[in-house]
Amino acid sequence: MYIKTTEYLAMVRNKTGFSDYKISKEYEINQSNLSKYSSGKAALSETHAWLFANILDIDPAEIVANTKLEHAISSGNNSKAKFWQEQLDKIFSESLPIKIQIAQINPIVGDIKSNAKKIIALSIEASENGAHLVVFPELALTGYPPEDLLLRNGFIDQVKNEINILCELIPSNIFVLFGAPSQLDKNLYNSAYLIYDNKIQNIYNKQELPNYGVFDEKRYFTSGKESFSFECQNTRVGVLICEDQWVEGPINQVCQGNVDMVISLNASPFQLNKQSARMSICQKYALKFGISFIYINMVGGQDEVVFDGNSFAVDKQGELIFEMPAFEEISMSYSDSSLKPVVTTDESSIYSALVLATRDYINKNSFSGALIGLSGGIDSALTLAIAVDAIGAENVHAVMMPYQYTSEISLTDAEMQARTQGVHFSSIDIHKMVDSFNASLSDVFENNSIDTTEENIQSRVRGTLLMALSNKHHKIVLATGNKSEMAVGYATLYGDMCGGFAPLKDISKTMVYKLSRYRNTLSEVIPSRVITRPPSAELAPDQVDQDSLPPYDILDDILKRFVEEKQSVDSIISQGHTSEDVNKITSLILKNEYKRRQSAPGPKVSSNAFGRERRYPMTSKFKP
């Protein structure tokens, strides 16, 4: 509803206390014109609209647009009435506080078309919800990390094509900020695109390129040099991309432009306790520069990394005012009273990360389900629970493969868990197969004593059976080994290491126990006896892990210090461990690099995970 001339005149009378006669004299308005204004027979002239705006301290454009609309309506000019109504809508929209939609999405690497459709759909939704700006994560269009796909011309051509489509289909009345590669001359950049009014308004190029841990951006991208900010709803918004916020150069540079707010687009992988570090640095900047800060992060699993989302905002006082759910794809409006943070434990965060990573690896690679060799032990029990929570019991097949050393307890507990969780359960006796292998090898093994070779045959028979079922049913085999075992080589190549994905690859044995207890607080799915009895590979009579390894609390502490904290042997010994334990374990870690290099990928949750993050030579004489 527009404001009429009679209403503006009444507002002038009320503010000045003048009569129409006094207004006529004081502001030199012809008495005849003022009478027409008062009776509603005429709309304000443009000159008098500006005069009234000054008296009432109102934006002159508002009164001019209202009086132009009034005149168009009274004269029956529908096209002009429509035009001036649109101008009024725009004026009132610009006077509203900025409304931002944060789209914490789970893109698929390389599925540029589907990712673009998601950006378009969420932009339309944000526009319909009255948002002025919608923000997506770093490289949202391509997924992160695209790695050597970036080196293919066809890949970059698809990116350019989909950005053109975005410009056509995104509503013209909303600013859209998203991450995608850009190319200038022969240089490729990790960029943030700003689209408005159906065209690219600006492109910001990431200045700080990380080249550590799982990051390898200097292989692909050129560093940007310029800062970028833009105006939206009378708010000056600065833009950063991920690593830019962890050094002071880019934030100092963009804040020299008197920005009110900084938005950081991220593809930041989950790591335990990382969220507090993110918040701390954003709060520091908010207080230092007097800005509000919005941190938006990607969510989802991608090969060996899992993105936790956890997007948030802090106000100019550094107070956390908004935090989105972790490990959940969601788009919602940012406001001062939106979501409050949810208190989580280490175990709940890690477990959620493993479930999301497993679900996305299976679904994004189009497997129909998962296969797990269920042994009755804690590692396979936890892996089964993760798989069921990730993709549903109806898509999981658990297989027990007993041999003569498999205990009755293991048989009972494995079947109990499978029944409790409602998965398809099979039992395949491997006695004849193992005996056949041993018989075939008896001549060439003559005069050799029985050792781990025969134990590994059992494991490799099980691996062969699981892979046969995988081929037949197009289900992925989930390897059940944990980080402690993989560190010291306590795993059989082509045996229990068989699988396409290893949910526990970065989970120490002590954390396996903690996660199992945590999962049972949600619903008791892992038999308590599995958690309490001594762990065993059950490949030999009365075998337990501690026959060949130190207790897991000792082993895992040494592993953490050597692998994650990169401490020397002498330093670890000085922390109270025996030289025998430390030398044995560190030697095993280095000797088994070749074995880990052939292991299935698994999600990173620690500060240093085996896989793409830890690049040690397989052939090395280094002594730590």
Is the pLDDT score of 540 beyond 80? no
- Would you state the torsion angle of the CA atoms of residues 136, 140, 144, 149, taken in this order, to the nearest 10 degrees? -160
Average pLDDT over residues 414-424: 93
Is the pLDDT score of 336 beyond 50? no
Is the pLDDT score of 577 beyond 90? yes
5-94, CATH topology level: 434 Repressor (Amino-terminal Domain) (1.10.260)
Is the pLDDT score of 344 beyond 50? yes
C-alpha distances in Å from residue 495, one per residue of 113, 430, 458, 537: 39, 13, 8, 12
With contact defined as beta carbons under 8 Å apart, do 180 and 141 qualify? yes
Active site residue 138: yes
Query: What is the tens place of the pLDDT at every residue in 100-134?
Result: 999 999 999 999 999 999 999 999 999 998 899 99
Q: Report residue 341's pLDDT band, with 50, 70 and 90 as the boundaries.
A: low
Q: Is 575 helix (H, G, I), strand (E, B) or coil?
A: coil
| Amino acid 94: pLDDT | 60
| Amino acid 535: pLDDT | 63
| Amino acid 21: pLDDT | 82
| Strand ranges in 338-391 using DSSP code E only, listed in sequence order | 369-373
Query: What is the tens place of the pLDDT at every residue in 517-538?
Result: 999 999 999 988 888 887 665 5
541-570 as b/e, with b when 16 or more CB fall inside 10 Å? eeeebeeebbebebbbbbbbbbbbeebebe
Query: What is the tens place of the pLDDT at every residue in 281-308?
Result: 999 999 999 999 999 999 999 999 999 9
| Amino acid 493: pLDDT | 92
Residue type, 28: E
Which CATH superfamily includes the segment(s) 100-343? Carbon-nitrogen hydrolase (3.60.110.10)
Question: Considering 232, 242, 255, 282, which one is annotated as catalytic?
Answer: 242
Is the pLDDT score of 204 beyond 90? yes
| Amino acid 40: pLDDT | 80
The Cα 177–Cα 236 span in angstroms is 14
Q: Bridge-partner residues for 372, per DSSP?
A: 398
| Amino acid 429: pLDDT | 93
Average pLDDT over residues 318-335: 88
Active site residue 242: yes
266 Cβ neighbours under 8 A, 6+ residues apart: 137, 138, 241, 242, 295, 296, 297, 298
With contact defined as beta carbons under 8 Å apart, do 500 and 597 qualify? no
Q: Which helix (H) or strand (E) holds 255?
A: helix 248-255
Is the pLDDT score of 411 beyond 90? no
Q: At what angle do helices 60-75 and 46-56 cross, to 10 degrees?
A: 140
| Amino acid 615: pLDDT | 84
| Amino acid 196: pLDDT | 94
The Cα 509–Cα 10 span in angstroms is 78
| Amino acid 65: pLDDT | 77
Q: Bridge-partner residues for 330, per DSSP?
A: 104
For residue 186, what are its two tokens?
């022969």
Nearest to 606 by CA among 508, 478, 502, 514: 508
Average pLDDT over residues 388-411: 91
Average pLDDT, the chain: 90
Q: Report residue 544's pLDDT band, with 50, 70 and 90 as the boundaries.
A: low
Question: Considering 68, 70, 99, 138, which one is annotated as catalytic?
Answer: 138
Which CATH superfamily includes the segment(s) 351-545? HUPs (3.40.50.620)
| Amino acid 534: pLDDT | 72
Average pLDDT over residues 456-479: 95
Query: What is the tens place of the pLDDT at every residue in 9-21?
Result: 788 888 888 888 8
DSSP 18: -
Q: Where in the chain is the domain with CATH 1.10.260?
A: 5-94
Question: Considering 206, 364, 475, 604, which one is annotated as catalytic?
Answer: 206
| Amino acid 62: pLDDT | 78
With contact defined as beta carbons under 8 Å apart, do 105 and 118 qualify? yes
333 vs 151 pLDDT, higher one: 151
Q: Report residue 479's pLDDT band, with 50, 70 and 90 as the boundaries.
A: very high
Query: What is the tens place of the pLDDT at every residue in 145-173?
Result: 999 999 999 999 999 999 999 999 999 99
- DSSP-assigned letters across all residues of 99-156: -EEEEE----TT-HHHHHHHHHHHHHHHHHTT-SEEE--TTTTT-S--GGGGG-HHHH
Prior bond of 145 cis (ω within 30°): yes
Active site residue 498: no
528 vs 89 pLDDT, higher one: 528
Is the pLDDT score of 426 beyond 50? yes
Q: Where in the chain is the domain with CATH 3.60.110.10?
A: 100-343
193 vs 88 pLDDT, higher one: 193
SS3 of the chain: helix, strand, coil, percent, to 5: 45, 15, 35
287 Cβ neighbours under 8 A, 6+ residues apart: 317, 318
Count CA within 13 A, CB hemisphere, residue 258.
Answer: 3
| Amino acid 288: pLDDT | 94
358 Cβ neighbours under 8 A, 6+ residues apart: 301, 370, 386, 387, 390, 391, 478, 501, 503, 603
With contact defined as beta carbons under 8 Å apart, do 17 and 23 qualify? no
Is the pLDDT score of 194 beyond 70? yes
Q: Is 469 helix (H, G, I), strand (E, B) or coil?
A: helix
